[in-house]
Amino acid sequence: MLFLAQTASNDFHGFLPTRGSVMLDFVFVALFAVIPVLASSIWLVKFRKPAELHKCEWHKWIQLALGAILLVAVTAFEVDMRFITKDWRSLAEASPFYASKIVDYSLWIHLCFAIPTPLLWIFVIVRALQKFPKPVAPCEYSSRHMMWGRIAATAMFMTAVTGWVFYWLAFVA
Ligand code: HEM
């Protein structure tokens, strides 16, 4: 009943009972799926036995799929912000954290991770595809990949956490 009343008064915009747009809601929810998949993909290679090369192959394809999803999500997000939702601020104005600029600060912190993350992912994926043999197996490039892979995975994790905080401050509170 409350849901219907709020829908009728146009307080809902996306599919979650918050002030977020469809795309903001989608990214908010999608990140809850992306993070466990990313963790599982790294877990596969980290705890494999040396002979279990099929786990490297799984890691490769999971990471390529996550990279493609990230690319589609970033593009859809940009299209939404520029052409469909346009003004996320009007959706966030009702937040008790809006006037004090806490919402703005949380967005800046989020962008510190969200902007470099796709660039890091492109770099890690392109270099891995160039350097690892086919079929995938550890090689002299492994240690560099592990370093950059950990940085790229951490950046993605931080993008998700800071994104969830921003979403909550702007569109839930
Ligand atoms: C953004 C995409 C990727 C991320 C974030 C990533 C992340 C990682 C991380 C963190 C590790 C080290 C795990 C540990 O601590 O032991 C790792 C290992 C590995 N990755 Fe990736 N990876 C990515 C893409 C790829 C791709 C595209 C390939 C293959 C072409 C690949 C092949 C491997 C292999 C073979 C290992 C094991 C290295 C070894 O044990 O010697 N990765 N990756």
State which ligand 1 atom lies nearest to the alpha carbon of 137.
35
Place of tokens 């849901």: 3
**Nearest CA, atom 15, ligand 1:** 46
Is residue 107 within 8 A of residue 166, CB to CB? The reply is: yes
Is residue 110 within 8 A of residue 169, CB to CB? The reply is: no
List the alpha helices (DSSP H) in 80-115. 88-92, 102-114
Residues lining ligand 1, Cβ inside 6 A? 42, 45-46, 56, 59-60, 63-64, 67, 121, 124-125, 128-129, 132, 136, 138, 142, 145-146, 149-150, 152-153
How remote is the CA of residue 92 from the centroid of ligand 1, in Å?
Answer: 38
Q: Tell me the per-residue pLDDT of 115-124, one tens digit each, with 9 for 90 and over.
A: 999 999 999 9
Q: What is the pTM of this model?
A: 0.90
Q: Tell me the per-residue pLDDT of 5-35, one tens digit each, with 9 for 90 and over.
A: 344 344 567 899 999 988 899 999 999 999 9
**What is the distance between the alpha carbons of residues 163 and 111, in angstroms, rounded to a whole number?**
9
